[in-house]
Amino acid sequence: MEAKDIIKQCEEEEGQLQFASFTQTDALELGNLLYETSKKYPKPVAIEIRMNHLTVFSYYPNGTNANNTLWLKAKAKTVDMTQHSSLHFWAEVQVSGETPKTKRMPESEYACCGGGFPLIIKNVGVIGTICVSGLPHMDDHRVITETLSKYLGK
């Protein structure tokens, strides 16, 4: 799939995969479902959900490590900055030819790859992030979107 098609796909996902409301109890349910979805992939996946910069769910299964923490932080920071999924940001960079550095987003602090998704409340906006780390970036993104689709009944 070409980057411009990925942008369109991400825009559709971000428009559809929104919540009517979201609580810390919802974060626990969604986090557990993310973990169940991730188990069908060959490598372990670290998971983090943040609401208003507060980590409300975090899980590091066996086989994950401190490197995953760095990736989760960078993916969340990218979503916070762009208000879009980190895969959306990656695709925009591919299409524009710009780099994260030219966008004033140093690669050591931001993630130009999949695995971060905005936690969006309908008619409100982005209130947090849903991030995973451990798989190739398209699979990281897929873990989130598959889980959100299931959770939201889409």
Beta strands in the chain (DSSP E): 46-51, 54-59, 116-121, 125-133
Per DSSP, the three-state class of 128 is strand
Mean pLDDT computed over 65-76: 97
Model confidence over 77-130: pLDDT tens digits?
999 999 999 999 999 999 998 888 888 888 889 999 999 999 999 999 999 999
Yes or no: domain 3-152 corresponds to CATH 3.60.110.10: no
pLDDT for the residue 23: 97
Instruction: Give tens-digit pLDDT for 36-69.
Output: 999 999 999 999 999 999 999 999 999 999 999 9
Q: What is the rounded distance in angstroms from the CA atom of residue 5 to the CA atom of residue 61? A: 33
Distance CA 13, CA 39 (A): 22
| Predicted pLDDT of residue 101 | 82
Instruction: Give residue limits of the domains in the chain.
Output: 3-152
DSSP 3-state of 68? helix
* Stated pTM of the model: 0.95
Residue 108 neighbours by CB distance under 10 Å: 8
Least confident piece of the model among 26-30, 92-96, 113-117, 140-144: 92-96
